[in-house]
């Protein structure tokens, strides 16, 4: 109980830190697990230098296939992993 009470003020500071640092509220980016978001992630990945190397390439292929077959949540997860892998390769 006490531990939970201590977490609330810390959480509030973490959430409010960007506002204090910049003086403005951060712009919220709303994403959904949808075919459109899958395409957006694929377009972001395509120009990355590491996108054509493994494991980024196969993760992206799997992600796009999952999105096309009606599993956008899993597809988005794979595409995000592909982006992280492509960044590590560069």
pLDDT of residue 63: 97
Q: Which residues span the domain enclosing 83?
A: 35-89
pLDDT of residue 28: 64
pTM: 0.66
pLDDT of residue 8: 45
Q: Is residue 8 part of a domain?
A: no
DSSP character at residue 29: -
CA distance 66 to 63: 5
Q: Are 67 and 35 in contact (CB under 8 A)?
A: yes
pLDDT of residue 27: 72
Number of domains in the chain: 1
Give helix 35-45 / helix 56-68 axis angle, nearest 10°. 160
Among 27, 87, 24, 30, CA closest to 55: 87
Q: Is residue 10 part of a domain?
A: no
Q: Is residue 71 part of a domain?
A: yes
pLDDT of residue 33: 83
Give the residues of the chain that fall short of pLDDT 70.
1-26, 28-31, 90
Q: Is residue 1 part of a domain?
A: no
Q: Which two tokens stand for residue 31?
A: 């994403």
CA distance 73 to 77: 6
pLDDT of residue 14: 44
The position carrying tokens 């054509």 is 52
């Amino acid at each position: 109980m006490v531990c939970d009470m201590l977490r609330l003020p810390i959480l509030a500071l973490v959430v409010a830190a960007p506002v204090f640092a910049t003086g403005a509220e951060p712009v919220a980016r709303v994403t959904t697990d949808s075919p459109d978001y899958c395409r957006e992630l694929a377009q972001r990945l395509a120009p990355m230098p590491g996108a054509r190397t493994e494991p980024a390439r196969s993760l992206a292929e799997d992600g796009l296939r999952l999105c096309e077959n009606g599993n956008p949540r899993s597809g988005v997860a794979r595409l995000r992993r592909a982006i992280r892998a492509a960044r590590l390769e560069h």
